[in-house]
Amino acid sequence: MDIDLTPEHEELVARMVSSGRYASAEEVIIVALQLLDEEERWRKYVIEKIDRGLAQAEAGQVVSLEEAKARIDELRQQWVNETKNKIAQGIAQLDAGEGITVDELQDRLAKRRGKQH
């Protein structure tokens, strides 16, 4: 698959690679897609919660707006912390030499999706 990036996005990818944190442009894109996937799962989770809340409101089971906002903020922060922990664990594993190549990562991701790379 070929992807055309804007000059700004190409510059961003180049900066990420030149930082030494990523081995290649492909790795930057893979990490970005993983984060996008996490964000989409978060969005789906929030939509499910909103739908549930609407159903509860229709049934007369409501909480104050302040309580609802506080709970959403708490859940979002929990998700952010979990994601940061996953990233920190991954970096620690890479620093310890436990990393895998981009090809190995692609193979694993493809197997999860039922495809071979």
pLDDT tens for 46-94 read: 999 999 989 998 999 988 889 989 999 999 999 999 999 999 998 888 8
Q: Which residue do the tokens 């990562």 mark? A: 105
Q: What is the DSSP letter of 48?
A: H
Q: What is the pLDDT of residue 117?
A: 47
Instruction: Copy the structure tokens of residue 25.
Output: 């442009």
d(CA 88, CA 81): 10
Specify the pTM: 0.48
115 pLDDT higher than 50: yes
